[in-house]
């Protein structure tokens, strides 16, 4: 059994994607919380030595660091043949969903969440309006990609569901509404036995 250490933070949707995937795959791991709001140079030396960008998530597998949430999800699926990694079609589906998430809904919701932490005026407000328009398109694509569901990978959730969960879990914080299709998927995701609140994925201390 591999030794897995996952560096993350509860306010990082990218880190939650990986924590959820490890949970769904039943892979025991040690979570280490990194303060993403602190100056990077103040983060633990072991983390800084392993993480070239000083970003979370970082998954250390038997001493080898893996960075970038999408790459880590694919590594988990292929290495353990789970969450889509059981078949060529499943991993292709996973890759496609990860690319869509990273380029669309995952390039929209985190920015909307961040924009609410600063005053919305001038050029920023125009950017927020544009991101809200993008979100409307993303809602339609979400339904198209989910199809008959119940999950993006079919009957069982896979790495695509984990990736999309990362920030779709925080629609309220982004100031946008879920479509009925999204609300149903969110309820199914919340009902998964492996699902945890972000704080529980990365407990303090």
Ligand X SMILES: N[C@@H](CCC(=O)N[C@@H](CS)C(=O)NCC(=O)O)C(=O)O
Please report whether residue 169 would count as binding ligand X according to CB under 6 A: no
Of the candidate spans 48-56, 86-94, 122-130, 179-187, the one that interacts with ligand X by CB under 6 A turns out to be 48-56
Contact between 143 and ligand X by CB under 6 A: the answer reads no
Pairing of strands 64-67, 4-8: unpaired
33 binds ligand X (CB under 6 A): no
- Residue 154, beta-bridge partner list: 151
Figure out which of the listed residues 6, 10, 14, 161 binds ligand X, where binding follows CB under 6 A.
14
Contacts 24+ apart (CB under 8 A), 114-118: 116/173, 116/174, 116/175
- In the range 75-104, which residues lie near ligand X by CB under 6 A? none
> Distance between CA 29 and CA 5 in Å, rounded?
6
CA distance 84 to 76: 10
Query: Judged by CB under 6 A, does residue 107 bind ligand X?
Result: no
What's the min distance (Å) between Cβ of 36 and ligand X?
Answer: 4
Is 33 in a helix, a strand, or coil? strand
* Nearest residue (CB) to ligand X, 35 versus 129: 35
Alpha helices in the chain, H assignment, sequence order: 13-24, 45-50, 69-80, 88-103, 109-115, 122-146, 159-168, 171-174, 180-190, 198-201
Q: Which residue number, 36 or 143, has a Cβ lying nearer to ligand X?
A: 36
Residue nearer to ligand X on the CB measure, 69 or 169: 69
CB of 180 to ligand X, least distance (A): 28
Binding site for ligand X (CB under 6 A): 12, 14, 36, 40, 54-57, 68-70
């Amino acid at each position: 059994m591999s030794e897995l250490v996952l560096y993350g933070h509860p306010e990082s949707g990218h880190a939650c994607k990986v924590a959820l995937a490890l949970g769904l795959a039943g892979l025991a791991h040690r979570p280490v919380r990194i303060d993403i709001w602190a100056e990077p140079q103040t983060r633990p030396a072991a983390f800084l030595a392993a993480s070239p960008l000083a970003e979370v998530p970082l998954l250390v597998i038997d001493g080898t660091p893996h960075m970038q949430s999408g790459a880590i999800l694919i590594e988990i699926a292929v290495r353990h043949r789970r969450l889509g990694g059981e078949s060529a079609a499943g991993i292709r589906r996973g890759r496609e969903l990860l690319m869509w998430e990273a380029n669309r809904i995952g390039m929209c919701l985190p920015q909307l969440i961040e924009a609410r932490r600063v005053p919305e005026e001038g050029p920023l407000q125009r950017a927020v309006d544009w991101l809200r328009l993008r979100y409307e398109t993303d809602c339609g694509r979400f339904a198209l990609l989910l199809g008959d569901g119940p999950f993006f990978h079919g009957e069982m959730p896979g790495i695509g569901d984990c990736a999309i969960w990362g920030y779709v879990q925080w629609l309220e914080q982004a100031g946008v509404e879920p479509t009925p299709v999204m609300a149903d998927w969110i309820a199914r995701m919340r009902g998964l036995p492996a699902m945890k609140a972000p704080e529980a994925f990365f407990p303090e201390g």
